[in-house]
Structure 1
Amino acid sequence: MFRRRALLGVPPLLLPALAAAQAPEGFPARAITVVSGYAPGGVTDITSRAVADRMGRELGVPMVVENRAGAATSVASTAVAQARPDGYSVLMGTSTLAINPALQPNLTPREPLKELAPVGMVFRTAFVLHVHPALPVQDTAGLIAWCRANPGKLNFGSSGTGAVNHLAQALFAQRAGIEVTHIPYRGGAPALLDLRAGRIQAMFQAVLEALPSLQDKGTRGLAISSAERSALLPDLPPVAAALPGFDVVFWQGLFAPSGTPAPVLARLEAALAAATRDPALQARMAESGVVIAPGDAAALRRLLEEETAMWGGLIRAADIRPD
């Protein structure tokens, strides 16, 4: 009652501005910008828009995706890290947050764990390990044995130095104790063309990108990089069946600027949880090879901490440097 009476003396034209100024406490009151570090049209962008739309319905305000590609997603993550911490600018962050500090330490934010506040998990998407059909191997154990017998002779492609599928290959070689030759490309499409032609013999590739080639027998699938099987390739076992503990995925999570008030973070986290648990959204994303992965802020923070340590150690040990 006191609040209502206090507002009676406020000119009507100033009420919207007053509401906006007070919005963080009663969050939300206006549209929220969701910044993505990827160009429109890809799986990451499509998922961002689907989740943002579902979250917006939960919050009762639009969540507008803004694509700010560049500098290995650093343009987007820096924009949010430096934004006002009021909940109206959030980041669809990805695995690059765990990779960039070691691979490209000149990029910002240099310390994502300090400069961004985790909100929750969005998705995980695995890679398929596939090979040229002429390679005389049928499974992961066979590939490892072949590489041990032929050190350095396997040309292992990737979509670029420092990409998650390149790091998956480097981690695979390290844990298997094998020597392979890394052949980086500018994207997955040209790498796949060379794999089909036999100019390279193996690569980790996003399931959806590899699927047509697997279906027409242009390549042979050996395993899936995640600890769990892929719904699109249920017959392929995890790499972990041959290398226990191997679990590599490309992931996406929602972040806010560090210093965002706890009630605002809690409201965003609740809306994200509702969105990622929506069966309709899960089914829609599964068609794109994406596993919607519900997980709270603590789970996302833990993942970022673990992967920052894992990828940082691998990058330094293997002396991986950007092209």
Structure 2
Amino acid sequence: MRRRSLLLGAAALPGLSRMAAAQDLPAGPIRLVVGFAPGGGIDSFARILARRAQDLTGRAFVVDNRPGAGGTIAAAHVARSAPDGTTLLVGENGVIATARAVFASLPYDPERDLAPVSLCVVQSVLCCARPTVATDLPGLIAAARARPGALSYASAGAGNPTHLFAADFARRAGIEAVHVPYRGGSQMVASVLAGETAFGFFSAASALPQVRNGGLAALAVGDEQPAPLLPDVPPAGRVLPGFTFAFWYGINAAGGTPAPLVAALSTTIGTALRHPETRSSLEAQGLKVAATGPSDYAAFAAAETLRWSEVARLAGVTPE
């Protein structure tokens, strides 16, 4: 019993924890592959995670940006990489859960070619409109019903989660609205501000500055409860029961990565995410730490894939 107590106490020491974590990880630098350009929300998340994981383990964690095709270029790169745990995808809804419903010839199979490591964070999403269009969700629905097909909404690309969120909203609300795809969140915000489109679904981080200065009206949040950063914005489900939506980021390794290695990576990532300073930095961006294990992430991704594939089908989104 004394030996066991000593071992348990030693395991809590930072230096020994760092050594143990480093020994369980693969040899060499670990690359976190991001499918979008530097400067965006997912890139910022990846860099926060990389710094903390490196501090905790003493090992090199490097962010590798490979933008293009809605993140699928990065996902395909990781899917083709050696299953040795040194190349990890910082994935999100689009490349994991909705890609098969959008791309007719996807160069990877998310379930077969990407091994779940951890669902890392969930980000609040806001439905926002120009204040002259509506200031709450019932007002937006009324405006759309008064002029069927006259209102348009912005998305970050056809089949992007922002497109599917809006398509699900239109179906549930029984309204007609015109889809206008853009190439990213910043262009979406600019389009609504300029009057090119009437509304859209935006990450809390990208919408908050414009909401606070009055350029955008935050109509609803996709969480089941009000978001801490905007406690006065009601959940969309209060108007349309069951309607929830969010962005999420997860880590995936190449398919075929050995289970013990996946487990070691998941433990390291979870420890980094739960660090108080990391959690505080992420929450300031509207990100809620999940830090799940591989099996929970796999089940979550499967449920998300099923849900949004059905939304895409009902919305008539044709794979291209």
CA distance in structure 1 between the partners assigned to 2:113 and 2:293 by the alignment:
18
- Equivalent residue, structure 2, for 1:186: 183
**TM-score, structure 2 length as denominator?**
0.86
Shift of 1:270: 0.8
C-alpha RMSD over aligned residues: 2.1
- Equivalent residue, structure 1, for 2:198: 201
Matching residue within 281, 289, 301 for 1:284? 281
Matching residue within 54, 63, 66 for 1:65? 63
Shift of 1:132: 1.7
Q: Does the 8 Å CA contact 2:26/2:84 hold for their aligned counterparts?
A: no
Q: Specify the structure having the higher radius of gyration (Cα).
A: 1
- Equivalent residue, structure 1, for 2:7: none
**TM-score, structure 1 length as denominator?**
0.85
Confirm whether residue 129 of structure 1 aligns to residue 127 of structure 2. yes
Amino acid paired to 1:123: V
| Per-residue deviation, residues 232-278 of structure 1 (Å, max 9, x unmatched) | 21210111111222221111101111211111111111111111211
CA distance in structure 2 between the partners assigned to 1:190 and 1:53 by the alignment:
29
CA distance in structure 1 between the partners assigned to 2:40 and 2:26 by the alignment:
29
- Equivalent residue, structure 1, for 2:5: none
Pairing of 1:194-233 with structure 2 (within 5 A): 194-233=191-230
Shift of 1:321: 4.1
CA distance in structure 1 between the partners assigned to 2:24 and 2:126 by the alignment:
45
- Give the match's secondary structure for 1:72: helix
Gaps of 5+ in 1: 1-23
Shift of 1:120: 0.6
CA distance in structure 2 between the partners assigned to 1:157 and 1:146 by the alignment:
17
Pairing of 1:286-301 with structure 2 (within 5 A): 286-301=283-298
- The 1:127/1:26 distance shift into structure 2, 3 A limit, reads closer
Amino acid paired to 1:198: G
Q: Does the 8 Å CA contact 1:28/1:59 hold for their aligned counterparts?
A: no
Q: Does the 8 Å CA contact 1:35/1:76 hold for their aligned counterparts?
A: yes
- Give the match's secondary structure for 1:218: coil
Pairing of 1:268-283 with structure 2 (within 5 A): 268-283=265-280
Shift of 1:68: 1.4
Pairing of 1:256-271 with structure 2 (within 5 A): 256-271=253-268
Moved more, 286-295 or 267-276: 286-295
Q: Does the 8 Å CA contact 1:123/1:290 hold for their aligned counterparts?
A: yes
| % identical equivalent positions | 36
CA distance in structure 1 between the partners assigned to 2:123 and 2:63 by the alignment:
20
Q: Does the 8 Å CA contact 1:161/1:321 hold for their aligned counterparts?
A: no
- Equivalent residue, structure 2, for 1:5: none
CA distance in structure 2 between the partners assigned to 1:41 and 1:132 by the alignment:
25
Q: How many residues align?
A: 298
Shift of 1:48: 0.6
Pairing of 1:1-323 with structure 2 (within 5 A): 26-96=24-94, 97-109=96-108, 111-135=109-133, 137-321=134-318
Moved more, 220-229 or 88-97: 220-229
Shift of 1:102: 1.4
- The 1:81/1:188 distance shift into structure 2, 3 A limit, reads closer
Gaps of 5+ in 2: 1-21
